[in-house]
Amino acid sequence: MISRTLAAKELTLFFHTPKVNPFNFWVDPFRALFSTTHIVGDKPILVRDFIHSALYDPQHGYFSQRSGSVGVLERSIKFNQLQGRKAYMKHLDKIYKDSAVSWFTPVELFKPWYAHGIAEAILRTANFSVPLKIYEIGGGSGTCAKGIMDYLMLNAPDRVYKNMTYTSVEISPSLARIQRETVGEVSSHLSKFKVECRDAADRSGWGDVEEQPCWVIMLEVLDNLPHDLIYSKDQSSPWMEVWVEKQHDRDTLSEVYKPLQDTLIKRCVEIMDLDKSQTTQSGAMSKAKSIWSKIFPKPQRCWLPTGCLKLLEVLHGALPKMSLIASDFSYLPDVKILGERAPLVSTKKDGWSSDYISYLDAKGDADIFFPTDFLFLEHIDHYCSGWLKLQKDKSSKQGKKRRTIILDTSSFMEEFGLPSKTRTKDGYNPLLDDFKNTKFYLSVPTHNTK
Ligand SMILES: C[S@@+](CC[C@H](N)C(=O)[O-])C[C@H]1O[C@@H](n2cnc3c(N)ncnc32)[C@H](O)[C@@H]1O
């Protein structure tokens, strides 16, 4: 099984059971209110602005309207009581049928063990000479926050739990409300916990620079951050940035290509090219490539994590001593949208999940989520910390090299979690065996300038 993507799909294939129709009564009126052409006004907009509206428009965005966009399990799954994979899949199928949500994220499916693994990683690494300060971005239903605080209450030295703070930065008002309720189930957490309902990528929300060490957690957030799209008509032509505009009939949208001018896109392309410049081609090779592209021109499309670049620039600026724990999809199957690092645009109708073939069809009724290229993420992190310089960058700011590691989910959970808790009777362990398309990225500050 592959998390979030295959959960619903594979289950229905597995059991051939049509799903119930929990959405019918409200999807259609909702659609009547919002169409993609409402997102775009008279002037063209960048693809990232289009995606931002489709997901986070306060009225109609997928995450703003649908508190059910992030599922909450009523009770934890008792893995030890299930026989094996078949029993687990049957159980999941029932959960999906009984709930109106599209996806359950790993922190939810494996609660409380997934969050406990993250708490243990913090406990083993944090510097407790200063009060523990945790920020979570995009905390969804609050399950991670509650799990981490529960774990620290029971396992950390008393003063650590007593003096800690946990701040959730959540863009969706409906999810922010749910987070308060989830964490509020344990009254002693409440004095340490707060939710700030805002866009974490907006620097103004962070206030003054926080000079103390702190932790930032982001689970399945990078995949939902706005991305840009660049296009080139063949393998050797320059990249163009993609904008979206209304056609003359005002009902359909189309793409417009412009020379690179947006500074965020340009920075992202430069960071991406750093990778390629390390494997420089010989002159003869690039000449051959150019001739080949004239004979067999093939249009190129490439999705850029500009939302991630913006967020990390903001975080490094506001929290220069942060330690970061992020987990996300490293790969997505069956993607129908074209381009490198292309997203899935997935909706659920009549109880069935289906994918749109164009991102321009997303109307607030669809999740748009991207795979994360973890090496690219590492480069972005080093660039935003000031350590990695771009060629055109003349700034003398001396950044510190961060210590970073990319781990498979199974390796992370084996190291910090309690794998025995998610093991079924016959030894099958969905957290370790199935979540092959997700990884963890850990990044901590150091004093090294080299
Ligand atoms: C796929 S959900 C993941 C929720 C939760 N972390 C989990 O794993 O269950 C993505 C979350 O990120 C939030 N989010 C996305 N962009 C954000 C931003 N710029 N600032 C704050 N929250 C954001 C969404 O509202 C949602 O809560």
Pocket of ligand 1 (CB under 6 A): 63, 70, 105, 107-108, 137-140, 169-172, 175, 199-201, 219-221, 224-225
Look at ligand 1, atom 8, and give the residue with the nearest C-alpha: 219
What is residue 389's predicted lDDT score, i.e. its pLDDT? 79
**Would you call 229 exposed, middle or buried from its count of C-beta atoms within 10 A (0-12, 13-18, 19+)?**
buried
Angle at the Cα of 224 from the Cα atoms of 276 and 43, rounded to 5 degrees: 85
**Nearest residue to 71 (alpha-carbon basis) of 110, 30, 14:** 110
Contact 227, 48 (CB under 8 A): yes
| Residues 353-395: tens digit of each pLDDT | 789 999 999 978 899 999 999 999 999 999 999 988 776 666 6
Task: Give nearest CA residue, ligand 1 atom 11.
Answer: 138
pLDDT exceeds 50 at position 33: no
Ligand 1 center to 346 CA (angstroms): 16
Q: What is the reported pLDDT for 388?
A: 83
> What is the CATH number that goes with domain 6-228+303-444?
3.40.50.150
Are 212 and 251 in contact, with CB atoms under 8 Å apart? no
CB within 8 Å of 36: residues ≥ 6 apart: 50, 54, 253, 360, 361, 362, 363
Q: Which residues contact 25 (CB under 8 A, 6 or more apart)?
A: none
Residue 198 reports pLDDT greater than 80: yes
State the distance from the centre of ligand 1 to the C-alpha of 235, rounded, in angstroms.
35
- CA of residue 292 to ligand 1 center, whole Å: 43
Could you identify the residue written with the tokens 């000479």?
Answer: 129
CA of 140 to the centre of ligand 1 (A): 6
Is there a contact between 287 and 178 (Cβ–Cβ < 8 Å)?
Answer: no
Q: Which residue's alpha carbon is at the smallest distance from atom 13 of ligand 1?
A: 138
Residue 287 pLDDT class (50, 70, 90 cuts): confident
With tokens 């529960």, the residue in question is: 150
The number of the ligand 1 atom at minimal distance from the alpha carbon of 199 is: 20
Report pLDDT digits (tens) over 213-246: 999 999 999 999 999 999 999 988 999 999 999 8
Residue 130 sits at the vertex; the CA angle it makes with 124 and 134, to the nearest 5 degrees, is: 65
Q: What is the mean pLDDT of the chain?
A: 86
Token pair 């060629």 in the structure block, residue: 391
Its pTM stands at 0.89
Q: How far is the CA of 384 from the centre of ligand 1 (A)?
A: 21
Closest approach atom of ligand 1 to CA 172: 25
Contact 328, 221 (CB under 8 A): yes
Residue 148 is predicted with a pLDDT of 98
Dist. CA 321–CA 311, nearest whole Å: 15
Residue nearest atom 14 of ligand 1, based on CA coordinates = 138
- How far is ligand 1, taken at its centre, from the CA of residue 399, in Å? 29
Local confidence band at 396 (pLDDT 50, 70, 90 cut-offs): low
| β-pair partners for 326 | 218, 441
Most confident of 18-22, 96-100, 443-447: 443-447
* Distance separating alpha carbons of residues 115 and 144, to the nearest angstrom: 5
CA dihedral 132, 118, 182, 312 (to 10 degrees): 70
Tell me the three-class secondary structure of 237-302, residue by residue: CCCEEEEEEECCCCCCEEEEEEECCCHHHHHHHHHHHHHHHCCCCCHHHHHHHHHHHHHCCCCEEE
Q: Taking phi first (over 0 means left), then psi (-120 to 50 degrees means alpha), and beta for anything else, what does residue 371 get?
A: beta
Separation of CA 197 and ligand 1 centre (Å): 11
For residues 342 and 301, give the distance between their C-alpha atoms in angstroms, rounded to a whole number: 9
Q: What angle do CA 385, 386, 388 make, to 5 degrees?
A: 100
Mutate to test the pocket of ligand 1, among 64, 70, 204 (most ligand atoms within 8 A of CB): 70
Q: How far is the CA of 70 from the centre of ligand 1 (A)?
A: 9
Main-chain dihedrals φ then ψ at residue 441, nearest 5 degrees: -120, 125
Q: Whose CA is nearest to atom 12 of ligand 1?
A: 138
Alpha helices in 82-198 (DSSP H): 85-98, 106-109, 113-125, 143-155, 158-163, 173-184
| Structural domain spans, the chain | 6-228+303-444
d(CA 264, CA 310): 8
Pairing verdict, β 322-329 and 438-444? antiparallel
Question: What 8-state DSSP symbol labels residue 205?
Answer: G
The helix/strand/coil state of 133 is strand
